[in-house]
Each structure stands twice: as structure tokens, then as C-alpha cells.
């Protein structure tokens, strides 16, 4: 059992639901790598969302934790940076594998078969279009979900949030309809073209196709350099905490310091849903 820091949803709220492009791009780089790591272990996550990405809390977090929680589900907190300047505070961890599923055999590497008429598994807001359509999920769906997470951070909300319906099933149908009727270019309008390129690439992947994780990372790394940002791991919340600490010091310790969200323990996977 390891205590990790706040989730990206917590930190998004802490930053008044505004992330700079620098923070979004630094997060995107790590998030792609964390999902790639899970896929190399023959699992798909199936619930990619801000709540399931947690920041580390210190130097002891620079490792990969891999603990069994049952016969076939795993709870992984993944971090794999070799950069000595990259402290545990800057590392991102992917948690909560209650909905994870093995997508290929460890020994034969045989991929699970394509199927339809599946129940929606995961969080509707970030679910892939194919997941809404009842198609068996694979690696492409985790990557598409990440694209929606990134646009959520960019836009502060997604077009299919806040839809009202009488039942959960009807609400999911409305979300699906809105998601499918919103062109990627409209969703990403006003933001760098790389985000639309990312989503169009993920939506174009075949069921068994392995995503080109390096290509996706490079999309955002090149954009990052083009914008003249420095990879110093200074996130928006880092700046807020430093500013609050300085204000507190200048007022003789009487000032109110910014309260960072509390950490979480990673040994409590949520109940599985049918998928």
C-alpha cells in the first residue's frame, strides 16, 4: 500500500479549472507513457480519466509498483522516468484497475476477438465512440479516451457534459450522440492542431492495431518545443503553491497558504462493472 498525491481532477480544481498549455503538454507526455506501460503488460485500462492519474508525493515514488489484487485484475501505480531531476513529486501514476481487461495472451500474444453488443464500461464522459457503440475495447480506446481528457483540460469542459435525461441509459445515449456529432476539428477549435491530429489518429486505429506511442508523444513534444517551453516539471499547481508560500513568508507567516488536495492510497480498486 502506497500513499500517492492528489489526482489530476483534484489539481485541476485547485488551479481553478484552468491548466496552461505547458502543463497540459507535460502531462500528456507522461500519460501516454503510463498507458503504454500498461499495454505492454497485456492489459487495457478501460477507465482513463483525470481521477485515475495521481501525482507522486516524494522521492520514494520513482519506481513501478505492481501488486496483485485478485486472480486476474491488477492495481498498478506506474512510473518509469530515468531523469535524475525528475522527483517523485513530478511523477504521474495511473491507478484503479477494477475495470482493466487482458487484451492478449501473455505467451501466444493472441489478441482478444472483435465483438459487439458489449455494455459500456468506464466513464461515459471520456469513453471512446466505439465503446459507446458496444464494440469490444482494445488499446485504441484507452488512447482515444486520453484525447478527451486532454481536451477537457484545454477547454475546462467537454460539449457532452451536463446533458439531462430521465435515465442513465438515455443519458449515455445523449452523450454518445453528441460525441459522434461533434467533429474533432470543432472539439479542438482554438487549440493547436496537434490535439485534433492525436484524436483523428486514435479514431483511425484498427481493433488489434498497436498505437504508435512514440509518434503521439512526439506530436506534443515538438509542439512543446515550438512554444519555447522548458521541461522543468514546473506545473501550474507548483507555481500556485510557491506563490502562496512566498505570500505567507512576506506576511510573517500569517498569510493563508494554498491548501493542496490530499493524497490517496492505491490499494482500493473500485468494484468491477460488466463489460
What per-residue string of b and e applies to 196-213 under the rule 16 or more CB within 10 Å gives b? bbbbebbeebebeeebeb
Euclidean distance between CA atoms 275 and 267, whole angstroms: 22
Least confident stretch, 59-68, 97-106, 153-162: 59-68
- Report pLDDT for 253: 53
Cell of 240: 500556485
Is 174 part of any domain? yes
pTM for the whole structure: 0.86
Euclidean distance between CA atoms 10 and 32, whole angstroms: 20
- Report pLDDT for 57: 84
| Residue 81 pLDDT greater than 60, yes or no | no
First to last CA, the chain: 27
Comparing 255 with 179, the larger pLDDT belongs to: 179
- Report pLDDT for 51: 98
Percent of the chain scoring above 90 in pLDDT = 74
Looking at residue 39, which CATH number applies to its domain? 1.10.510.10
DSSP letter at 32? H
User: Which whole number is the average pLDDT over 167-172?
Assistant: 96
Cell of 229: 517551453
Look at the chain and report how many structural domains it folds into: 1
Percent of the chain scoring above 70 in pLDDT = 80
pLDDT-derived band of residue 248, with 50, 70 and 90 as boundaries? confident
What is the tens place of the pLDDT at every residue in 106-149?
999 999 999 999 999 999 999 999 999 999 999 999 999 999 99
- Report pLDDT for 266: 56
| Residue 25 pLDDT greater than 70, yes or no | yes
Q: Which secondary structure element, helix H or strand E, spans residue 154, and what is its range?
A: helix 139-155
Is 215 part of any domain? yes
* Domain of 154, in residue numbers: 7-229
What is the tens place of the pLDDT at every residue in 198-245?
999 999 999 999 999 999 999 999 999 999 999 999 999 999 988 888
CB-based contact 129:147 (threshold 8 Å): no
pLDDT-derived band of residue 52, with 50, 70 and 90 as boundaries? very high
User: Which whole number is the average pLDDT over 77-101?
Assistant: 75
Q: Cell 478501460 maps to which residue?
A: 46
Is 64 part of any domain? yes
What is the tens place of the pLDDT at every residue in 192-211?
999 999 999 999 999 999 99
Q: Which secondary structure element, helix H or strand E, spans residue 74, and what is its range?
A: strand 74-77
Is 253 part of any domain? no
Is 155 part of any domain? yes
User: Which whole number is the average pLDDT over 53-71?
Assistant: 54
Query: Which residues are part of the catalytic machinery?
Result: 47
Is 272 part of any domain? no
Is 188 part of any domain? yes
| Residue 43 pLDDT greater than 80, yes or no | yes
User: Which whole number is the average pLDDT over 45-67?
Assistant: 73
- Report pLDDT for 246: 83
Is 249 part of any domain? no
Mean pLDDT of the chain: 87
pLDDT-derived band of residue 69, with 50, 70 and 90 as boundaries? very low
Comparing 264 with 19, the larger pLDDT belongs to: 19
Comparing 108 with 250, the larger pLDDT belongs to: 108
Euclidean distance between CA atoms 137 and 201, whole angstroms: 16
CB-based contact 93:52 (threshold 8 Å): no
Amino acid at each position: 500500500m502506497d500513499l500517492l498525491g492528489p489526482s489530476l481532477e483534484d489539481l485541476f480544481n485547485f488551479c481553478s479549472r484552468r491548466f496552461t498549455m505547458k502543463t497540459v503538454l507535460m502531462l500528456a507526455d507522461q500519460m501516454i507513457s503510463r498507458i503504454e506501460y500498461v499495454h505492454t503488460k497485456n492489459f487495457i485500462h478501460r477507465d482513463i480519466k483525470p481521477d485515475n492519474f495521481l501525482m507522486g508525493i516524494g522521492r520514494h515514488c520513482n519506481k513501478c509498483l505492481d501488486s496483485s489484487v485478485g486472480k486476474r485484475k491488477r492495481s498498478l501505480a506506474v512510473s518509469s522516468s530515468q531523469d535524475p531531476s525528475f522527483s517523485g513529486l513530478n511523477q504521474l501514476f495511473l491507478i484503479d484497475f477494477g475495470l482493466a481487461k487482458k487484451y492478449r495472451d501473455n505467451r501466444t500474444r493472441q489478441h482478444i476477438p472483435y465483438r459487439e453488443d458489449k455494455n459500456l464500461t468506464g466513464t461515459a464522459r471520456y469513453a471512446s465512440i466505439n465503446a459507446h457503440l458496444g464494440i469490444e475495447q482494445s488499446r485504441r480506446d484507452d488512447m482515444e479516451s486520453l484525447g478527451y481528457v486532454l481536451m477537457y483540460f484545454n477547454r475546462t469542459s467537454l460539449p457532452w457534459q451536463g446533458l439531462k435525461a430521465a435515465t442513465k441509459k438515455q443519458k449515455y445515449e445523449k452523450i454518445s450522440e453528441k460525441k459522434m456529432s461533434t467533429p474533432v476539428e470543432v472539439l479542438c477549435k482554438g487549440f493547436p492542431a496537434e490535439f485534433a491530429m492525436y484524436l483523428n489518429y486514435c479514431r483511425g486505429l484498427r481493433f488489434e492495431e498497436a498505437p504508435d506511442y512514440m509518434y503521439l508523444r512526439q506530436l506534443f513534444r515538438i509542439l512543446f518545443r515550438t512554444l519555447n517551453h522548458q521541461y522543468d516539471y514546473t506545473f501550474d499547481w507548483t507555481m500556485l503553491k510557491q506563490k502562496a508560500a512566498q505570500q505567507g513568508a512576506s506576511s510573517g507567516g500569517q498569510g493563508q497558504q494554498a491548501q493542496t488536495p490530499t493524497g490517496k492510497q492505491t490499494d482500493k480498486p473500485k468494484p468491477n462493472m460488466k463489460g
